[in-house]
């Protein structure tokens, strides 16, 4: 009889423990809170700078030695023959038009973009877009400090069109800006020997931006 009582007591204790465990697993926990998302936004800040803009009677042409070897400088005999127009043609794209560019004509383009959103943003590698001889778009991903070339119709009648425009991208790939922060980007252009007279050369520069935690450029 005593053993039976002990067995019953043990059974009661075991069932009690099981009840506690069951209650612990079936309790409901309520968490109160809110989730908000950030806004990704980058836009151009005007004006876009050009050392030799079209329509400016006071701007003189700039020139450069071959491959920017000695930088960009005023010529010994200042002249105003060529000019460069830079236009914002999309939220992330600039269209560059070189008019009457002659061999050694050069220019520097500077522009600013601002992080107008609420989350940190990173500048991706810029992309150069130009037309090939068949009129199709050619896209070239550029890196800081790199030299890039645009072939095209030249003053020569060769079947192979040599390079006519040289571009050097300068800075800011992979850099991060907090909300309200500003990027200052710049690139150089240089007209090479085969360029045609009284001609326009056109290309686009596109720079995309991505939120800081998704950057894999």
DSSP state of 52: S
pTM, two decimals, is 0.77
- What is the distance between the alpha carbons of residues 172 and 123, in angstroms, rounded to a whole number? 7
The predicted model gives 69-82 an average pLDDT of: 73
Instruction: Determine what percent of the chain is predicted with pLDDT higher than 90.
Output: 42
- What is the distance between the alpha carbons of residues 41 and 36, in angstroms, rounded to a whole number? 16
Concatenated DSSP letters of 168-183: EE-S-TT-EE-TT-EE
- What is the distance between the alpha carbons of residues 47 and 140, in angstroms, rounded to a whole number? 26
Residue count of the chain: 217
pLDDT(101) > 60: yes
pLDDT(200) > 50: yes
Torsion sign (Cα): 75, 79, 82, 87: positive
Structure confidence at residue 63 as a pLDDT band (50, 70, 90): confident
* Amino acid 9: pLDDT: 47
């Amino acid at each position: 009889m005593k053993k039976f009582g002990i067995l019953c007591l043990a059974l009661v204790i075991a069932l009690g423990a099981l009840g506690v465990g069951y209650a612990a697993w079936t309790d409901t926990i309520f968490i109160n809170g809110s989730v908000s998302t950030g806004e990704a936004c980058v836009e151009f800040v005007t004006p876009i700078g050009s050392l030799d803009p079209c329509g400016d009677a006071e701007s003189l042409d700039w020139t450069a030695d071959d491959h920017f070897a000695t930088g960009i400088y005023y010529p010994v005999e200042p002249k105003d023959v060529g000019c460069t127009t830079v236009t914002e043609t999309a939220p992330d794209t600039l269209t560059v038009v070189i008019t009457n560019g002659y061999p050694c004509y050069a220019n520097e383009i500077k522009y600013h973009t601002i992080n107008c959103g609420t989350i940190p943003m990173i500048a991706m590698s810029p992309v150069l877009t130009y037309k090939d001889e068949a009129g199709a778009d050619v896209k070239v991903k550029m890196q800081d400090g790199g030299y890039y070339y645009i072939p095209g119709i030249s003053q020569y009648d060769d079947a192979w069109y040599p390079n006519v425009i040289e571009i050097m991208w300068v800075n800011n790939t992979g850099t991060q800006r907090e909300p309200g922060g500003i990027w200052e980007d710049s690139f150089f252009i240089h007209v090479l020997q085969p360029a045609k007279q009284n001609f326009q050369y056109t290309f686009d520069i596109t720079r995309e931006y991505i939120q800081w935690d998704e950057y894999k450029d």
